[in-house]
Amino acid sequence: MYVTIKLLIVVLIFVLRYVRSNNLRIDPLVDSNAGLIKGLRASDGDYSMFLGIPYAKVNESNPFGVSIPQEKFDKVYEAYNDSLMLCPHSSEMGIVGNINCLYLNVYVPNSASSQNRLPVMIWVHGGAFMTGSGKKSAFGPKFLVKQNIILVTINYRLGPYGFMCLDIPEVPGNQGMKDQLLALRWVKNNIEAFGGDVNKITLFGESAGAISVDLHLLSVHDNLFNKVIMQSGTALAATVLETPDKMAPIKIAEFLGFKTESVLEALNFLTLTDSTLIIAASTNLNMIFKPCVETEFSNVEPFILKPWINENTRKVRGMPILLGFNNKERWFEYATKQSEYFDNLNVIHDKLVQTFAFNESKLTEMENIIHHFYMGDSKMSIELRDKIGDFDSDYTYIHPIQRSIRQYIENVPENIFYYMFSYSGKRNYNKVTLNVTEEGAFHADEIGYLFDLSFLPEDNPEDLVIVEQMTTMWANFAKYSDPTPATSELLPVKWTPLTKDKWYYLNIDSKLAMGSRPLNERMAFWDLFYETNKKEQKGYEENL
């Protein structure tokens, strides 16, 4: 009898058609190591959706600490809804989310089965470690699953709940990264039941999501994935380096009316405080929470224990890597600003202070050198908006990516596929949001060509070609470790991996084109700058 039931479950795993008699729909049911999970048949493609699967629980007695793996379901879990997949954060809709937010979505093409295992792509969302979600409404799957891959999108805690680093066992730091780690372990342990290939798992993300991918490569843990894609970010991005505020709980508690000099007393107070108030307080206090280097404690599983500025990325040995940037990354910061904004703009000074430990005189000297390189002798003004955007793009994302590439090359990955996304269309996420029409691609603009976002139109044939090209190349990488295993009418250009001496890259625009050393003059300037000042970088350590 047991064998018969087991066989029936297996037969039903991916039944994705209507039973015509009585118009009855049979939803997909999966028998996983986590238990029985029932999903939904998608209405916009030939795939199933398993929405809002819990992979971990936040510890109610310490919501700022490490989460707890989800226990096995004792009955069928109905994965029909991902509305709880929203961790507390401040958004354009106000403060949203709840602390019980550790869920993931799994999207499975009809073709997946135990006889036809498909590659798996795990998406880590961006948002500066302060905002964002892996919900279907944020990252619709229909474009990618059409390419015969299984897509998993994950959630992780943000802001003070995910990245408070206090150097104490209760809150050692990187709780959000450890959430991601639990999600990766869940996928590794359960994805075979969905028809996934555990030997073809690609971890990919954008901005803070890409930085997260790189941090997993730098962590103390074994890889739970086989390939990586990093879009507009690595661990060397200037946005990551923040000195943890170890008094953060005391400051937040005081803002909310509870005064104490004890971090633990403040944490106890905040544990009983509504998450909306905590996010509001930390926002009002302009607090920033990021990944950090942890102190090691007994009986506490760490994530990162050493500074990563010049760390050896040994885990990339033999691993295929795809990464790149958008050609006008940080222009969005200045595109809609009025002239008075630029009158007192100190962006070069502020960026240098963020990542270098210069004394005051050297800081001024370096600031002047950079200003002259990008803007000559002209004062900051709205007329120099494009030059300011170029500086910010280069400093924050583009050159850090190139420095990371050098670290990877030293550790002999299988291949590195490098790109620059330059396309400007109606699905450029950030430009559409800002209602900006100039040419080029801002930060996050490529997302609309990988994911279905409801507010982006699908009526432009040229945009849909880019969608097809991007999703095909990304899926090819997941399948074959090569985004263009063969050229075709859709992909007429062979994407050549870079080498130590030849930094080939693919320019993704209306026409695909190979080039060498993108933005070469600007990058050469920063090569010299960092070589001259490398030991004054915050977090730099000799002889690692």
Q: What are phi and psi of 38, to 5 degrees?
A: -105, 135
What rounded mean pLDDT belongs to the chain? Answer: 93
For residue 255, give the nearest of 287, 284, 286 by alpha carbon. Answer: 284
Of the pLDDT bands very low, low, confident and very high (cuts 50, 70, 90), residue 26 is low
What stretch of H or E contains 389?
A: helix 385-393
C-alpha to C-alpha distances, 489 to 425, 430, 464, 506, nearest whole angstrom: 21, 29, 15, 17
* C-alpha–C-alpha distance, residues 381 and 454, integer Å: 37
Half-sphere exposure of 270 (CA within 13 A, CB side): 33
Q: What's the pLDDT tens digit per position in 128-163? A: 999 999 999 999 999 999 999 999 999 999 999 999
491 touches 511 (CB < 8 A): no
CATH for 45-244+289-343+379-536?
A: 3.40.50.1820
Please determine, for residue 24, whether its predicted confidence score (pLDDT) is greater than 80. no
Question: According to the model, what pLDDT value does residue 312 have?
Answer: 86
Of the pLDDT bands very low, low, confident and very high (cuts 50, 70, 90), residue 251 is very high
Q: Which of 260-264, 312-316, 317-321 has the lowest mean pLDDT?
A: 312-316
For residue 136, give the nearest of 119, 154, 115 by alpha carbon. Answer: 154
For residue 221, give the nearest of 296, 297, 128, 304 by alpha carbon. Answer: 304
CA 397-402-406 angle, to 5 degrees, is 145
Cβ atoms within 10 Å of 206's Cβ, excluding its own:
29
Please determine, for residue 275, whether its predicted confidence score (pLDDT) is greater than 80. yes
- The overall longest dimension of the chain from CA atoms, in Å, is 84
Question: According to the model, what pLDDT value does residue 19 have?
Answer: 38
* C-alpha–C-alpha distance, residues 209 and 169, integer Å: 26
3-state secondary structure 204-244: EEECHHHHHHHHHHHCCCCCCCCEEEEECCCCCCCCCCCCC
Please determine, for residue 6, whether its predicted confidence score (pLDDT) is greater than 80. no
Question: According to the model, what pLDDT value does residue 230 have?
Answer: 98
228-242 burial: b if 16+ Cβ within 10 Å, else e? bbbbbbbbbbbbbbb
Question: According to the model, what pLDDT value does residue 462 have?
Answer: 97
Of the pLDDT bands very low, low, confident and very high (cuts 50, 70, 90), residue 543 is low
Cβ atoms within 10 Å of 370's Cβ, excluding its own:
21
Please determine, for residue 3, whether its predicted confidence score (pLDDT) is greater than 60. no
Please determine, for residue 1, whether its predicted confidence score (pLDDT) is greater than 50. no
Residues 6 or more apart in contact with residue 532 via CB below 8 angstroms: none
Of the pLDDT bands very low, low, confident and very high (cuts 50, 70, 90), residue 539 is confident
Instruction: Select the more confidently predicted residue: 539 or 271.
Output: 271
What stretch of H or E contains 124?
A: strand 118-124
* C-alpha–C-alpha distance, residues 445 and 525, integer Å: 26
Q: Positive or negative, the Cα torsion across 89, 297, 354, 446?
A: negative
* Domain range summary for the chain, segments of one domain joined by +: 45-244+289-343+379-536
Q: What is the mean pLDDT of residues 33-52?
A: 97
How distant is the alpha carbon of residue 122 from its chain centre? 10
Share of the chain above pLDDT 70, in %: 95
The residue to which tokens 């709780």 are assigned: 175
Please determine, for residue 241, whether its predicted confidence score (pLDDT) is greater than 80. no
* C-alpha–C-alpha distance, residues 330 and 351, integer Å: 13
Q: What's the pLDDT tens digit per position in 278-300? A: 999 999 999 999 999 999 999 99
Catalytic center residues: 207, 329
Q: What is the mean pLDDT of residues 347-359?
A: 95
* C-alpha–C-alpha distance, residues 494 and 485, integer Å: 8
86 touches 136 (CB < 8 A): no
Please determine, for residue 126, whether its predicted confidence score (pLDDT) is greater than 90. yes
Question: According to the model, what pLDDT value does residue 243 have?
Answer: 82
